[in-house]
Amino acid sequence: MVRSIFLRGFDQDMANKVGDYMEDHGIKFIKKYVPKKIEQIKKGTPGLLKVTAHATEGSEIFQGEYNTVLLAIGRDACTRKIGLEKVGVKINEKTGKIPVNDVEQTNVPYIYAIGDVLEGKLELTPLAIQAGRLLAQRLYGGSKKKCDYVNVPTTVFTPMEYGACGYSEEKAIEKYGVKNIEVYHSYFWPLEWTVPSRDNNRCYAKVICLIPEKQRVIGFHVLGPNAGEVTQGFAAAIKCGMTKDLLDSTIGIHPVCAEIFTTLSVTKRSGENILQSGC
């Protein structure tokens, strides 16, 4: 059951491809509904549960019976009862998140915040650890290095992994304008999937480039096997200012999935065919 969109905060082109893949492999999504009541109608292992859900758009009601119900409800920022108001630290009253500047400083100059509690930042443990280390080095080690909250590699471990680093296509266009963005993309077919003729043209690669800066790569997205491993490697290159020309001049390792990023030539705006017939 999905209350609004898939993978909020991620590139929606990629998120919808994840959803399509899961649907084609037997996952049934109930879209734009929110569960309001769960009742046990039969005890046992498994038992039986009745779910009542309301539409997020309209007045429709959905009911279904299931053996198991798993709620992925996210997390809250528990900031309202720790005394922040006594020292004057401002929070977002709706979410409890804490606004900070680019050095994790709250509105009270001598109070800092790091991690998932930050407003508008990714909720990732490795990112919080890095931010904490850099903050300590700035406060006590004479460093001036700030945490990079944009070029953060991450992976969604869906049945086919989705790896991402940098801007989503939507965020890149919002920040730089559609005329300054070039998107290169392609489907690809992993070698191990070609023998059983499995899932051709479902894996997908996309890089988002900033045209005025020699097509510097500002967004990296991959949907396929081992996407996390692929993304972790390219993330270092993105941190170094990788451009499309540098990608093109890199020799690919045949026949691995990551090779596709060294041969991307079709732009989204061209509308040309990106389907692949083999590995």
Q: Which residues are catalytic, by number? A: 254
Of 216, 158, 193, residue with least CA distance to 6: 158
Q: How many of the other CB atoms lie within 10 Å of CB of 5?
A: 14
Contact 131, 114 (CB under 8 A): yes
Structure token digits, residue 56: 């997020």
Instruction: Determine if the peptide bond prior to 46 is cis (ω within 30°).
Output: yes
The residues that bridge with 181 in the sheet, in sequence order, are 210
CA angle 133–11–258, rounded 5-degree value: 80
